[in-house]
Amino acid sequence: MGQSGYIRPETLPALTSLRFMAAMMVVFMHTSSAFGWEFIPRHFIFGLGVSFFFILSGFILTHNYLHRNVPFTTFIQNRWARLWPAHLLWLAAVFILLPPGWWTFDGPGLLSKWVTLVANIFMMHSIVPIQDYYFSWNAVSWSISTEFFLYLAFYPLLKNIRHTWRCKLLITLFIFLSLDVIQHWFPITGMNITFAIPPARVLEFFLGMTAYLIWEKTREGKLWIAFLITAVPLFLMLPELTSLLPILSKATQFIRVGLLCGYAALACLIISLAGNHTLARIVGVRPFVYLGEISYSLYLCHQVFIRMFLSQGPDGFWASLSPPLQAALYFPIIFSASCLSYHIVEIPLRKMLRSIDFQRYFGIFKQKKAYHPL
């Protein structure tokens, strides 16, 4: 039994496995680009890996919290405990594994490496839309910062969601497209408001939340049903979309329409694998689920090791290896590091941080009764 006598939501192991798929999409994109491995295709679909994370996160959080009376402070504490330990570990690994010249970009004022380090420690670095800022230190952790800010927005997005999802979906789409318009017509070198900042990713997150409502209605996990129901609100949004397209460049039009289609397809995949059919049971077997469990550490560590090997330079050991040998060395290293990170850092520190009674020490945060979003 959960809080307030509520039975804990059913587990959806196939969706845990999908986290590994999303992580590997990002790993393949970065390794093929950084190492020039031609045997890994540089397919555009790999670029949707982070979007997949955000959509999946919205779905799972809605599944876990829609019917539970959990105080907002408890929710944030649990999510912070989930993100922070591994994030700090692989931030520290940048100092340990890389030479100082490879740590991060160092600039004046806001872009000082010590300023960005503080922002990274507190997972605040994605709110500044400057590439050298949000890509500082462990570059992939920008999405962890963005994810934490999406957690802060989760309860307002969840409130009365069964009645307000259409309106909220339109609002998040409008934000998504408006940022594109601003970026296109008022570009500033080194600044991008369509990539890392939380408002640029709220559409993906809320699409995952909406996908959960669809799954609740279908429950059969039939892909064609999921596609039809997911496509309907997107088609309803076409007037809004087409009204903005003329003021975007042709390239941006194709990219954004393609992304919306990609988001719908990812949502459909999630809905389908949340069902109880053969494919979901295959994907949900324990080895795949375990890979999904270590995927957070895998995501955080993979680029640190890329930079560690590249820092050896063209005359180093790494450059002397053929691409197949590089892959044979690189992948066991990142998987081993991910396993160690998961068991030695993530699990114990997550339990410890969740057990801290902050309300006891900081009475200002005390909530007398749980916040229920319905």
pTM of this prediction exceeds 0.85: no
Any idea which of 157-161, 209-213, 353-357, 368-372 has the lowest mean pLDDT?
368-372
Farthest-apart Cα atoms in the chain, separation = 63
pLDDT band at 183 (very low <50, low <70, confident <90, very high): confident
> What is the per-residue pLDDT across 339-358, written as a single tens digit (0 to 9) for each?
999 999 999 999 999 888 77
State residue 337's pLDDT score.
96
pLDDT band at 182 (very low <50, low <70, confident <90, very high): confident
State residue 55's pLDDT score.
86
Evaluate whether 17 touches 52 at the Cβ level (below 8 Å). Answer: no
> What is the per-residue pLDDT across 38-67, written as a single tens digit (0 to 9) for each?
887 766 566 777 888 898 899 889 988 888
Q: How far is CA 172 from the centre of its chain?
A: 17
The structural domains of the chain, with segments of one domain joined by +, span 3-362
Amino acid at 156: P
Average pLDDT of the residues in 194-216: 87
Q: Is the pLDDT of residue 253 over 50?
A: no
> What is the per-residue pLDDT across 125-156, written as a single tens digit (0 to 9) for each?
999 999 999 999 999 999 999 999 999 999 99
- Which residues 6+ apart lie within 8 Å of 266 measured at CB? 48, 51, 52, 55, 56
Average pLDDT of the residues in 311-321: 88
Evaluate whether 211 touches 58 at the Cβ level (below 8 Å). Answer: yes
State residue 335's pLDDT score.
96
